[in-house]
Amino acid sequence: MTLDITDRIWGGFLGGAIGDALGEPVEFLSKEERLQRWGPTGVQGFVHPDGMGRFTDDTQMTLFTAEALILHAKTGEPLLIALHKAYLRWLATQKLPSRIPPDTYCNEGFLLDQPVLHQRMGPGRTCLRSLMEATDLGMPVVNDSKGCGGLMRVAPVGFWAALHPDQWDTRRTFTVASQAAQLTHGHPCGSLSAGCFAVLIRDLSSGAGLEQALKYTLSFLEKIGETGAPIRGALQRARSLADKSVAWEQATLELGSGWVAEEILAIAVYLGLTAPDAETGIVQAANHPGDADSVGAVAGQMLGAMPNRDAYIWDQANQLDGYSILTLAVSTFLAVT
């Protein structure tokens, strides 16, 4: 492990939480409401009266993914079981029941004891329903959802793979992240987008440039065949728009509203290719006209793991309501390795 990888992992975790928190008050507002509140420049900083940013279920579930990897390393429990149990602990923070007995999963980890995580911050209905109705740990859900709820939480798999390159090749990284998403999202676009994102995060954290990482991921997707075609198409559109220097406002119209996984993945890649720095890219993501908090979270995770970030991420992270649990989780995540 090098300091450079450690730094990029910190940036990815914190960048995702910042983008998530910036997009949180924006997500469900109409264009007219946004203009009325913040004018044509959109939201530029945290807008709650206390000046603090509040991340949503995107970052909450990302932290529980990290916790699963930590427990897997310590106990040797199968990773997919550890992941499912961690997501059920997140469900418990939402004050919702599961068909799987709480004693099976609630006496593990350290996140369940954190009050800041026991908040309902716009949780996705697919995640809630899938976890509530699950009867067997580790079993993929049966639904046709390709929402972003599987994508937005798997960045820690990519970070973990970067820390353990000898054990985590592309196939394993892709497979684990895809299986983690399949616990709640059954459509191939929902799970395969998560696998691609984890591979991109792994390569970025390991020091690759985004162009290089994207080329490698697209090559890997080709091996999957037609199942991966929609994701390949979305990523290729993002790269084409970036290559043509298409403005952000126009690119959002062509890349989609960001309510499904492959669209958010493509939007994040476009921003990673075009934003001059992390601040610009994260603010643009958080002002996306669709799923602003999830676009902000995924783009922030990617931009934070890239070398073009600056003091902005650390300055903003200190203003997050959940900053202390973020630092505890990331420090523990890195210490285990």
pLDDT at 1: 45
Distances, alpha carbon 39 to alpha carbons 53, 54, 152, in Å: 20, 22, 28
Residue 100: phi, psi to the nearest 5? -80, 130
Question: Is the pLDDT score of 88 beyond 90?
Answer: yes
Global pTM reads 0.97
Question: Is the pLDDT score of 320 beyond 80?
Answer: yes
pLDDT at 241: 98
Question: Is the pLDDT score of 186 beyond 60?
Answer: yes
Question: Is the pLDDT score of 82 beyond 90?
Answer: yes
CATH number at residue 272: 1.10.4080.10
What's the whole-number average pLDDT of the chain? 95
Separation CA 192–CA 179 (nearest Å)? 9
Separation CA 292–CA 295 (nearest Å)? 5
How does residue 292 score in pLDDT terms, banded at 50, 70 and 90? very high
pLDDT at 307: 77
Question: Is the pLDDT score of 135 beyond 90?
Answer: yes
pLDDT at 259: 87
pLDDT at 308: 63
How confident is the model over 223-259, as pLDDT tens digits? 999 999 999 999 999 999 999 999 999 999 999 988 8
Using DSSP's 3-state secondary structure scheme, residue 25 falls into coil
pLDDT at 309: 57
- Number of domain units in the chain: 1
How does residue 331 score in pLDDT terms, banded at 50, 70 and 90? very high
Mean pLDDT confidence for 77-106: 98
3-state SS of the chain: helix, strand, coil percent to 5? 65, 0, 35
Mean pLDDT confidence for 198-219: 96
Separation CA 294–CA 188 (nearest Å)? 19
Q: Report the C-alpha dihedral over residues 36, 37, 40, 41, rounded to 10 degrees.
A: 180
Domain containing 276: what range? 3-336
Question: Is the pLDDT score of 337 beyond 90?
Answer: no
